[in-house]
Structure 1
Amino acid sequence: MHKPALPQEGSDTFNDQVRIVLVETSHSGNIGAVARAMKNMGLGNLWLVNPASFPDEASYARSAGASDVLDRAQVVATLDDALADCVLVMGTSARGRKVPWPVIAPPQAAATAGEYSRQGRVALVFGRENHGLSNDELQRCHYHIHIPSNPDYSSLNLAMAVQVVCYELRMHYLRSLEEGEASPNLEAMVGPGDRGWDVPPAEVQEVEGFFGHLEQVLVDVDFHRRNNPRQLMTRLRRLFQRARLDQMEINILRGILTSVQKAAGTLPGSDKQKNTADEGQEKGHV
């Protein structure tokens, strides 16, 4: 028995209007893998042109929870049947043509699909595992999609090729959300101040307090000499400034420095520091 379908993401015009068309797929497991790739990217409109075997257990096993995409798949006898009601057709091709044809990369294909999906149905066509689409089939396409893979090893598994194109469709879809405003799904989160970071960025006075504390500890443990500083603090400043510390990180670092001072007996007010100062006074060193 095949795995039950996981919840489907809410449908909308773009995802419903864009269909993935597989031509004469020879291995049914690849159909399941394609269904999984599609559902990963929020797509569910799959058309199959004369598959060697479908439906069967292998396709559902490879779908890994995307069985609803397979349940909805349309099986037709010819490519013309799959394309008849479409306003735009794009086919994947890795080969050069004697007669040049409009060729676009996956990001441009996704943008073009998004534009035409407002006018009608769009088909993205993928060929057979062993030799892709025929010349006659490619001539039914308005554009050819070329995935710029490694020229020394350019052949992609069918599901991998579908995943690449569906990923670009997903990115275009997310950018189109919120009427042109940046989607939180696409915003980078790399440091304090970015949406989703758990602690506010450290303020300048907090960072300067840390640098002062750090320098004092380095002096205390005889690692740094203020009268011969060279570039130590400059380079340490560059290191920590590059990290863009948040308030919690500043507190952690200062806690570590305080523990070092306690262990070294140099923390202001510590018994060891008082004893050292008393000894120095007795010897006339302070």
Structure 2
Amino acid sequence: MHKPALPQEGNDTFQDQIRIVLVETSHSGNIGAVARAMKNMGLGNLWLVNPTSFPDETSYARSSGASDVLDNAQVVSSLDEAITDCVLVMGTSARGRKVPWPVIAPPDAARKASEHAPAGPVALVFGRENHGLSNEELQRCHFHIHIPSNPDYSSLNLAMAVQVVCYELRMNYLRGLEGGEGSPYLKAMTAPGDAGWDVPPAPVNDVEGFFSHLEQVLVDIDFHRRENPRQLMTRLRRLFQRARLDQMEINILRGILTAVQKSSTGKAPTGNASEADEAATGQE
């Protein structure tokens, strides 16, 4: 028994129109791995041209929950059957040709697929594991897709090649969501103030209070001399400003400084320092 299918992300016209075509795949496990790669990127339209063995348990085992992609796969006897209704056909190729053919990289292939998908199916064709697509098959393609891998070790596993192309399709699709503003999945979250960060950024006044507190603690423990400051506080300021601290982080740091003061002097600080200590304890 093969694994049940995991839920699909959802149907979309663009995703439905993108057709991944595998030609004469010899190892059924690779078909399952391709199905997994496709579903990872939200695609599910798989066509198989004269596979050596399909369906079988090996292909379903390698799909790791993408069994619905395999269940819905179209099996045909020739490449012509797989692409006859397509408005654009692009085939992967790692070899140069005596007669030059239009060659594009995966990101450009994804953009062209997006441009043509509203008019009809777009086929992305991948060849046999051992020698790819034949010259005749490549001549049925409008463009050849070249993945710029390491020239000293350029051979890609079939599923790897499909994953690279499907990733670019996914990225192009996400960029076009939400009225051209792009998907939230593509927006970086690296600092306070970014969408999704859990705590607001610390205001300037609080940051300056931290720097004053830090300097006082460094003086208390004889690490810093105000009369001979050199560049210590400047460099520490640069370090913490680079971190772009949020409010909770400021409170935690103030709490640490307070603990250092208690340990070194035996006295609890008063005023803003003790208030920050309490805030840090409460937020944690």
Aligned 1:123-272 pairs, distance under 5 A: 123-265=123-265, 267=267
Q: 1:258·1:267 contact (CA, 8 Å) conserved in 2?
A: no
In 2, the alpha carbon distance for the partners of 1:239 and 1:72 equals 55
* Corresponding residue SS for 1:20: strand
Q: Which residue of 1 aligns with 2:277?
A: none
Q: 1:91·1:124 contact (CA, 8 Å) conserved in 2?
A: yes
* Corresponding residue SS for 2:178: helix
Q: Which residue of 1 aligns with 2:50?
A: 50
In 2, the alpha carbon distance for the partners of 1:230 and 1:182 equals 48
* Corresponding residue SS for 2:176: helix
> Whose Rg is larger?
1
Matched letter for residue 89 of structure 1? V
* Corresponding residue SS for 1:53: coil
Per-residue CA deviation, residues 102-135 of structure 1 (Å, 9 max, x unaligned), is 1111111101000000111100000000111111
Report how far residue 196 of structure 1 moved: 0.5
Aligned residue pair count: 270
Q: 1:220·1:266 contact (CA, 8 Å) conserved in 2?
A: no
* Corresponding residue SS for 1:118: helix
**Correspondence 1:78 to 2:78:** yes
Would you identify which runs of 4 or more consecutive aligned residues in structure 1 move more than 2 Å? 266-270
After superposition, the Cα gap between the structure-2 partners of 1:269 and 1:143, relative to the gap in structure 1 and judged at 3 Å, is closer
RMSD: 1.0
Report how far residue 213 of structure 1 moved: 0.3
TM-score by length of 2: 0.93
Report how far residue 182 of structure 1 moved: 2.8
Instruction: Give structure 2 stretches of 5+ with no counterpart.
Output: 271-284
In 2, the alpha carbon distance for the partners of 1:269 and 1:257 equals 10
After superposition, the Cα gap between the structure-2 partners of 1:218 and 1:238, relative to the gap in structure 1 and judged at 3 Å, is same
Matched letter for residue 42 of structure 1? G
Per-residue CA deviation, residues 43-101 of structure 1 (Å, 9 max, x unaligned), is 00000000000000100000010000000000000000100000000001111111111
In 1, the alpha carbon distance for the partners of 2:94 and 2:163 equals 16
In 1, the alpha carbon distance for the partners of 2:158 and 2:53 equals 16
Q: 1:199·1:248 contact (CA, 8 Å) conserved in 2?
A: yes
TM-score by length of 1: 0.93
Instruction: Give structure 1 stretches of 5+ with no counterpart.
Output: 271-286
